[in-house]
Amino acid sequence: MTLTTDAAATPAAETRQPILQARNLVKTYGRVVGLDGVSLDLYPGEVLAIIGDNGAGKSTLIKCLTGAEVADEGEILLDGKPVHFKRPQDAHLAGIETVYQTLAVSPALDVASNLFLGREERRKGILGSVFRMVDKKGMRKKARQQLADLGITTLQDVTVPVENLSGGQRQAVAVARAAAFGSKVVVLDEPTAALGVRESNQVLQLVKNLRDRGIPVILISHNMPHVFEVADRIHIQRLGKCATTITPQSHSMTDAVAIMTGARKA
Amino acid sequence: MSQSTQQVPATTGPHDLAEEFLDRTTPLSRLRNVLHRYPALSPAIVLVFAVIVFGLLNERFLNPANLSLITQQVAVVGTLAIAQTLIILTAGIDLSVGAVMVLAMMITAQVTVQTGIPAILGLLLGLVVGLAAGAFNGFLVTKLRLPPFIVTLGTLNIFLALTLLYTAGATVRGGDMPDLLTWSGTTFNIGGVNFTTGVLMMLVLYFVIAFILNNTSWGRHVYAVGDDKEAARLAGIRVNRVLMSVYLAAGAILAIGAWIQIGRSNAASPNASGDLNLDSITAVVIGGTSLFGGRGTVWGTLLGALIVGVFRNGLSLAGLDVLWQTFAVGVLIIVAVSVDQWIRKVRK
Ligand SMILES: Nc1ncnc2c1ncn2[C@@H]1O[C@H](COP(=O)(O)OP(=O)(O)OP(=O)(O)O)[C@@H](O)[C@H]1O
Ligand SMILES: [Mg+2]
C-alpha cells in the first residue's frame, strides 16, 4: 500500500466533464417521497460526500445511481451519455461498485465467495470452459491479497462463512469487494458505521487511494470529521432534496450541520 | 499466526480458523460449530448409528439382499429429493414433486405404448413434461411472486387431476412397454449386492448435482439466493433467472425420477405419487438442509433418504407395525429440525 498523503485535489473541477451525473431524480415509495428532484455531479478524481439526516434520501439517491432502484423520473448520465440501469449488474458492468448500507453479503457463503459473488472466476482450460468449474483456489488467493491490500489483518481465513464474522469484519468484506472491482466509480454508503478507529482510518485511506488512482468516490457518512477529512465537495441532502453543495474550505462543520438540520438556510 | 501463501482448504488445515474463531469454551458449542460447518455430518452419524443398531437387532438386516432392497426402496424418493433439495436451498418448497413425476411417467408410458413411438422419444417427452411443469411452477414463483408453498400446493392438485383425467385411472403394465422404459429396473451385481440401474441413475444424479452446486457459479448463486435474496440481487445476481433455472432443473430431475419409478414397480400407475411429495421433503430435512434456504447439501439429502429407508426396513424386520415406522419418521423429522435450529444458533 502506498502511503501517499493526499495531494490537495483540484476544487476547480467544474470545467471538466463529470463522470456521473444525475438530473432531477424523483423516487417515491407509495406515498413516501424518497427523492424529490435531486441532481448530482461527480467529477473525475474527486471524493463527493453526501450528508443528511436519517431519512433524508441519501441511500435512495445512491440506489438510483447504482441500479439497485430505478428512479421514477429524471435521468442519469455516465460520461455524458444517458444510461438506464435496471439492475445492480448493469452498474457493475459500467464499472460502478457500491457498498450498500445493508452490506449485501451472503451470510452462509465464505469470505472469498462473497468477494467474487456474481463474477466468479473460472478455472483455466477444459475444466472451466466445459465443466464450468470456478477457480476456488485462485479466488481465495486473490481474496487474501485484496484484504491484505486494504490492511485488513483481522480476517485471515477467507474460507470462514461471513455469518461468523463481526459486523465490522463484514463491512470490511463489502468494502474490499467494491474497491477491488470498482474501475470507474466507487460508492460507499456509511462504510465505517460498524468499524473501529483503526479500521475506519483504513477505509478513509482507501478512499484517498482510490481518488489518487483517479477513481471518484461517493461517500455517505454521518461522521463529520471523516467527511471533512476526505471530501472535496459535500452534497447536503435534506428532506428528499439537495439543500446545497459545499466544500470543506467554504464551510465549517457547524455550518454543514446547521444546513443539514435546517437550522440555517443554505 | 503464520501467513502461509499456499494455504489448503480448511478441511485439512491443522488449525481450523473458523472453529478457532467461534466460541470454543464448551465441548457442546464446539460440537455445534462443527455440525454447523458440515451440515451432512449429523445425518451421517445417525445413519451409521441406525445401521449398527438394526444390524444388532436382527442379523437379516445386514444381509446383502436386504441392503439391496433398501437401496431400491430409496431410489425414487431419493431422486425426487434431489429436486426438492435444490428448491429448498432457494428457501422454497415443492409440494408437487410426486405429482410432476407421475404426470411425466404416465405421459411417457401411455404415449409410447399407444402410438408405438421409439422409447427414447417417449422418455424425451417425459423430460419435456417435467420441464414444462417446472417452468409453470417457476413462472408463478418468479413472475407472479407467489410463495412457493402456495404455488406448488395448487399445482400438486392440478397435475394430479391432469394425470387422472389423461389416464382415466388406468395403469400401464411393464410387460407392455418397450425394454428401455423398464431398463431402470434391471439388476446387476457388485460384490454380492444387487443394484438396479435405477439406483445407479440416482447415484449419478447425486454426483452431478453435488458437483454443480459445489463447483459452478450457478451453484453458488443458488445458495446466495436462498440465503438472502436482496443481498444476492445487490451483488449482481439475476435472482429470478436463478430461481427459474432451479425449477427447470427440478423438473428435469423429476422426469428421470419417473423413469426410475417405472423400473422400480415394473408399471406406470397414476396412483404412484402417494406419499412421495412429503417423503422427499422428509429426506431433505433429515439430511440437514435448512428450510430457511441457503444451507445444506445434496449428500445430506441422500443420507436423509437412506435414514428413512433404513428405519422403515429395520423396524419392519423387527416385526413392528407399519404405523410405528411412520411414527419413527415423524420423530426423526422433529429431531432433525430441532438440531438444525440449535446448530443455527451459532450466531444471532
Ligand atoms: N424500500 C422502501 N420502502 C418504503 N419507503 C422507503 C424505502 N426506502 C426508503 N424509503 C423512505 O425513503 C426515505 C429516504 O430513505 P433513505 O433510506 O434514502 O434515507 P437515508 O438518508 O439513507 O437515511 P439513513 O441515514 O437513516 O440511512 C425515508 O423516508 C424512507 O422511509
Ligand atoms: Mg441510508
**Ligand approaching nearest to the C-alpha of A61:** 1
Q: How far is the CA of A36 from the centre of ligand 1 (A)?
A: 12
Q: Which amino acid is at A152?
A: I
Asked if residue A4 has pLDDT above 50, the reply is no
Element (H, E) at A241: strand A241-246
Tell me whether A180 touches chain B (CB under 8 Å).
no
Question: What ipTM does this complex have?
Answer: 0.87
The one-letter code for the residue type at A125 is G
What would the pLDDT profile of A132-142 be if each residue is shown by its tens digit? 899 999 999 99
> In chain A, what residues touch B5 (CB-CB under 8 Å)?
141
- Residue A88 near chain B (CB below 8 Å): yes
| Partner B contacted by A171 (CB < 8 A) | no
Query: pTM, whole model, 2 decimals?
Result: 0.89
Instruction: Please state whether beta strands A185-189 and A233-238 pair in parallel, antiparallel, or not at all (unpaired).
Output: unpaired
Burial zone of A65 (CB within 10 Å; 0-12 exposed, 13-18 middle, 19+ buried): buried
Per-residue model confidence (pLDDT) at position B209: 98
Measured between beta carbons, the chain A residues lying within 8 angstroms of B37 are 161
b vs e for A89-127, b when ≥16 Cβ sit within 10 Å of the residue's Cβ?
bebbebebbbbbbebbbbbbbbbbbbbbbbbbebbeeee
Express each pLDDT in B249-265 by its tens digit: 999 999 999 999 999 99
Q: Which residues in chain A have Cβ-Cβ distances shorter than 8 Å to B237?
A: 89, 117-118
Instruction: Note the pLDDT of residue B25.
Output: 64
Shortest Cα–Cα distance, B313 to chain A (Å)? 35
User: pLDDT-derived band of residue B346, with 50, 70 and 90 as boundaries?
Assistant: low
Max Cα-Cα span within chain A: 65
Report pLDDT for A7.
41
Average the pLDDT over A106-116 and give the result.
92
The answer for A151, left when phi > 0, alpha when psi is -120 to 50, beta otherwise, is: left
Q: Which pLDDT score is estimated for B204?
A: 97
The verdict on a CB contact (< 8 Å) between B231 and A108 is no
The predicted structure's pLDDT at residue A166: 83
CB–CB contact B236 A141 (8 Å): no
Contacts of A108 in chain B (CB under 8 A): 223, 227, 294-295
Which domains does chain A carry? 1-95+183-266 (3.40.50.300), 102-181 (no CATH)
The packing angle between helices B322-344 and B41-57, to 10°, is 150
Higher-pLDDT residue of B120 and A160 is B120
**So what's the pLDDT on residue A66?**
96
* pLDDT over threshold 80, residue B18: no
Condensed to tens digits (0 to 9), the pLDDT of residues B272-314 reads 887 899 999 999 999 999 899 998 999 999 999 999 999 989 9
Q: Which residues contact B83 (CB under 8 A, 6 or more apart)?
A: B94, B97, B249, B250, B251, B253, B254, B257, B280
In short, whether A60's Cβ falls inside 6 Å of ligand 1 is yes
Asked if A140 and B7 come within 8 Å (Cβ–Cβ), the reply is yes
Give residue-wise pLDDT tens across range A204-254.
Answer: 988 998 898 889 999 999 999 999 999 999 999 999 999 999 999 999 999
B234 CA from centroid of ligand 2 (Å): 15
> What percent of chain B is modeled with pLDDT above 90?
72
Does residue B238 belong to the interface with chain A, where contact is any CB pair within 8 Å? yes
Number of A–B residue contacts, CB under 8 Å: 102
Identify residues whose C-beta is under 5 A from ligand 2, the ion. A 59, 101
Residue A9: predicted pLDDT: 45
User: Is it the case that residue B192 has pLDDT exceeding 70?
Assistant: yes
Cα A60 to middle of ligand 2, angstroms: 7
Q: Is the CB of A57 under 6 A from ligand 1?
A: yes
Which of the ligands is closest to the CA of residue A242? 1
Q: Which residue has the cell 464448551?
A: B26
Tell whether the model's pLDDT for residue B109 goes beyond 90.
yes
Residue nearest to atom 16 of ligand 1 (CA): A57
Task: List domains and CATH numbers for chain B.
Answer: 39-343 (1.10.3470.10)
Name the 3-class secondary structure at A264.
Answer: coil
How confident is the model over A43-68, as pLDDT tens digits? Answer: 999 999 999 999 999 999 999 999 99
DSSP A87: S
Euclidean distance between CA atoms A90 and A78, whole angstroms: 12
Q: How much is the average pLDDT of A163-173?
A: 85
pLDDT digits (tens, 9 = 90+) for B37-62: 788 888 999 999 999 999 999 989 99
Give which of A4, A93, A2, A95 is closest to A42, Cα–Cα.
Answer: A95
pLDDT band at A14 (very low <50, low <70, confident <90, very high): low
What separation in Å is there between the alpha carbon of A144 and the centre of ligand 2? 29
Q: Kindly tell me if the per-residue pLDDT of B10 is higher than 60.
A: no
* pLDDT recorded at residue B343: 79
Look at ligand 1, atom 24, and give the residue with the nearest C-alpha: A54
- The whole-number average pLDDT for the span B172-198 is 92
Q: Give the one of B215, B237, B346 whose C-beta lies nearest to A134's C-beta.
A: B215
DSSP letter assigned to residue A82:
E
SS3 of A46, please? coil
